[in-house]
Amino acid sequence: MQTVRNQITESRPSALAEVAAQALAKQSSRLSFPAELEQAFLISHDARHARTNRMFALLGALFILISGVNDFWAMPDQAWLTILLRAGALLLALLAVLAIGVRTILPRMGALYPSLLVLFSLYSQAALLFITGVAAEQLHFTYQLGPLLLLLFICLLTRLRFQITLIIVICMWYMQYFATSLWIRLPAEQSVYVMAVYTVLSIIVLLANYRFERESRRVFLQDLLLVTEREELKAARVQIEQLSLTDDLTGVGNRRHFDRQLSHEWLRAKRSRQSLSLLLFDIDAFTHYNEQYGRASGDRCLLKVAETIQSRARRQSDLLCRYSSEQFALLTPDINPADALLLGKSIVDTVASLSLPHEDAPKHSHVTISAGCMTLWPHKQPDIKDLIQGADRNLREAKRAGGNQVEATSTVEAGH
């Protein structure tokens, strides 16, 4: 049974959006949100930057490998060893690229990609420092550029989260420090110079990475609120539309809904060459009822009658609407005239059996209703008005015959 009210969905503002609004208002300098929001942010952040991270990781590894051409000139004896070391970086980058590529089908493997990028950075740093140590002394300066470029590249181009970047930068700084003091034999003042440059650059990339993540979090919150607002607006529009089709008193469809559905069902029945029945119900001597029991009781009586009709019209395709202030219309497709009449009778009898007191009723001392039923086959019938006029005529006939009964006709009986 279609009713309008039960289609209305309760729309509550998303709890996540509320937390997002609070976080946005706070403008905290901390790079964390409450747990549920943080989870959503991490997923969206990783997904957003996965493509660029994949591309830059691969480009970086290729650069490390290709720049190994130097090694043949700087350390011909160990060139193949160093190329092998450089190829290790490419392998780790490829693993990270693979993890990013399969993250939608294998989420567990996909979740490994930030760790693989960390591994790639630390391994590449170790390899580059080792190669710098074995390089000919006059080439130290050129080789020192490698770790610096790696630092810039991993912290600024690939958008790893600040927490991860911090770990990478600290580890890389220590590796640089130990390699500079123990492995790469540089004059003392050059070591200080190298470490000073490395430290300044580390601080710069950390600050930049921090700002990137803060901005990324702000954009995430704004997007989330925008999406939620859009969804709420959509839900409100649907709710308003549905309320505009509902009768306030009884909760069934109103006349507007009936008119829309009638033409819709008419065309559908026409297409599928099925019948369409309309039953019109009216409370007998309702004016007297109102006069004797008051309008509020009259309203309760209308509600009871609507509930009773609805409880008898159980098919999914049945549609009950308040047709006019004191009449109800039941539209029921694909039912034969005899069954439509039986349905009307069972509704009329059920209302009578409620024994709602109506002492001023001309015939009975309880509330009764009358019904007019019309069944048509729209593919044989040119005019939709015949359905309404037929049901209305039969309703008046039932009233004339004393009420508490159903009068029904169909095109078959009418000789069409």
Ligand X SMILES: Nc1nc2c(ncn2[C@@H]2O[C@H](COP(=O)(O)OP(=O)(O)OP(=O)(O)O)[C@@H](O)[C@H]2O)c(=O)[nH]1
CB of residue 233 to ligand X, shortest distance in Å: 33
**Contact between residue 410 and residue 376 where contact means Cβ atoms under 8 Å apart:** yes
- Number of neighbouring beta carbons within 10 Å of residue 383: 11
From the list 94-102, 272-280, 281-289, 371-379, the region that binds ligand X by CB under 6 A is 281-289
Helix (H, G, I), strand (E, B) or coil at 111: coil
Long-range CB contacts (within 8 A, 24+) of 225-232: 225/17, 225/20, 225/21, 225/24, 228/13, 228/14, 228/16, 228/17, 228/20, 229/17, 231/14, 232/11, 232/13
Q: Which of 44, 290, 292, 317 binds ligand X (CB under 6 A)?
A: 290
Q: Which of 399, 408, 409, 410 binds ligand X (CB under 6 A)?
A: 399
Both tokens of 406, joined, read: 């159903």
**Contact between residue 410 and residue 337 where contact means Cβ atoms under 8 Å apart:** yes
User: Is 285 among the residues that bind ligand X (CB under 6 A)?
Assistant: yes
**Contact between residue 50 and residue 103 where contact means Cβ atoms under 8 Å apart:** yes
In whole angstroms, give the CA distance from residue 306 to residue 132: 89
Within 13 Å and on the Cβ side, how many CA atoms surround 95?
18
Helix, strand, coil proportions of the chain in percent (round to 5)? 70, 10, 25
User: Is 299 among the residues that bind ligand X (CB under 6 A)?
Assistant: yes
User: Is 416 among the residues that bind ligand X (CB under 6 A)?
Assistant: no
Would residue 355 be called left, alpha or beta, if left means φ above 0 and alpha means ψ between -120 and 50 degrees? left
Q: Which of 211, 273, 295, 416 binds ligand X (CB under 6 A)?
A: 295
Beta carbon nearer to ligand X, 307 or 326: 326
From the list 48-56, 119-127, 250-258, 292-300, the region that binds ligand X by CB under 6 A is 292-300
CB of residue 221 to ligand X, shortest distance in Å: 49
Beta carbon nearer to ligand X, 19 or 305: 305
User: Is 298 among the residues that bind ligand X (CB under 6 A)?
Assistant: yes
From the list 7-15, 165-173, 211-219, 285-293, the region that binds ligand X by CB under 6 A is 285-293
Terminal Cα distance for the chain, rounded? 30
Q: Which of residues 158-177 bind ligand X (CB under 6 A)?
A: none
Helices 162-178 & 113-134 angle (0-180, nearest 10) = 20
Beta carbon nearer to ligand X, 7 or 324: 324
User: Is 400 among the residues that bind ligand X (CB under 6 A)?
Assistant: no
Letter string b/e over residues 298-319, b meaning 16 or more CB atoms within 10 A of that residue's CB: beebbebbbebbbebbeeeebb
From the list 209-217, 226-234, 237-245, 290-298, the region that binds ligand X by CB under 6 A is 290-298
Q: Which residue is nearest to ligand X (CB)?
A: 298
- Total site size for ligand X, rule CB under 6 A: 15
Beta carbon nearer to ligand X, 401 or 414: 401
User: Is 372 among the residues that bind ligand X (CB under 6 A)?
Assistant: no
CB of residue 292 to ligand X, shortest distance in Å: 11
Report how far apart, in Å, the C-alpha atoms of 57 and of each of 61, 79, 205, 245 are: 6, 24, 17, 57
Q: Taking the alpha carbons of 223, 227, 229, 230 in that order, is the dihedral positive or negative?
A: positive
Q: Which of 284, 318, 392, 407 binds ligand X (CB under 6 A)?
A: 284
CB of residue 289 to ligand X, shortest distance in Å: 8
Letters for 310-329 (x = contact with ligand X by CB under 6 A, - = none) are ---------------xx---
Beta carbon nearer to ligand X, 99 or 361: 361
User: Is 363 among the residues that bind ligand X (CB under 6 A)?
Assistant: no
User: Is 286 among the residues that bind ligand X (CB under 6 A)?
Assistant: yes
User: Is 113 among the residues that bind ligand X (CB under 6 A)?
Assistant: no
Report strand pairing: 276-283 vs 369-376: antiparallel
User: Is 292 among the residues that bind ligand X (CB under 6 A)?
Assistant: no
Q: Which of residues 228-257 bind ligand X (CB under 6 A)?
A: 249
What is the contact surface with ligand X in residues (CB under 6 A)? 249, 282-287, 290, 295, 298-299, 302, 325-326, 399
